[in-house]
Amino acid sequence: MGKLIAIRHGQSTWNAENRFTGWVDVDLSEKGIQEAEKSGKLLKELNISFDICFTSYLKRAIKTLEIVLEIAEKDMNYTKAWELNERHYGSLTGLNKTEMKKKLGEESFKKYRRSWDTPPPRLDKDSEYSSHKDPLYKNLKNIPNTESLKNTYDRVVPYFEKYIEKHLKQNKNVILSAHGNTIRALGKKIFKISNEKINMLEIPTGNPLVIDFDNSGKFLNAKYLDTSRKNEIISNQ
């Protein structure tokens, strides 16, 4: 099996402002650009081949991947898929997390932000942040108005199983530049994390996570390349 290198995009402008972002197409912050550049350097130092790349429709993930490939001196095409987008945060989109925590209370805020299957209230289709107005999705049916992590899992994992896993089984190394909840959903599958514990899986921005599998496709180990910013890998295996 090949290696899966999962990278959450570098810090975005809305990450820096502590806002719920979801499907809104915000750019990288200056810090995010630096994180992407460091990711590229770390992958270059890894000194392995990269065979295929995937990312979402959102510019913060796309730019992270492009910076990584440039720094790592890899001239490669990549595949974009809306299924790899960040979780849709519904009516929380654009709002400040600290302010909403005070308004909603600890329990409701935690439920909407990190529970497995409770989505926030729906975002109105007329909202300035609605993806129904975004030309990126003009050919997409059933654009979400809110999502739980389970909803995100239900699009990310089938895409992974259909389009990405086969390359790993062909012993190819795959780069996935995506989002915190994209990688959290995929991590739930790969690391076999329970519904109750998945809220504990934190994904740092701009820090490549290298995942190894055995020949049968079973998870062997995972490590963050920037050890100064690594988070615990939770696994029920």
User: Which residues are the active-site residues?
Assistant: 9, 86
Q: Which two tokens stand for residue 11?
A: 């810090």
189: helix, strand or coil: helix
Buried b (16+ CB within 10 A) or exposed e, 78-91: eebbbbbbbbbbbb
CA-CA distance, 166 to 25, in Å (whole number)? Answer: 29
Distance of CA 197 to the CA centre of its chain: 18
- Neighbouring C-beta atoms of residue 5, cutoff 10 Å: 23
Other C-beta atoms lying within 10 Å of the C-beta of residue 223? 12
- Token digits for 114? 């990190």
Closest CA relative to residue 226, chosen from 15, 20, 30, 36: 36
- With residues binned 3-state (H G I as helix, E B as strand, rest as coil), the percentages for the chain, rounded to 5, are 45, 15, 45
Q: Which residues contact 102 (CB under 8 A, 6 or more apart)?
A: none
Region of 154 on the Ramachandran plot (φ > 0 left; ψ -120 to 50 alpha; else beta): alpha
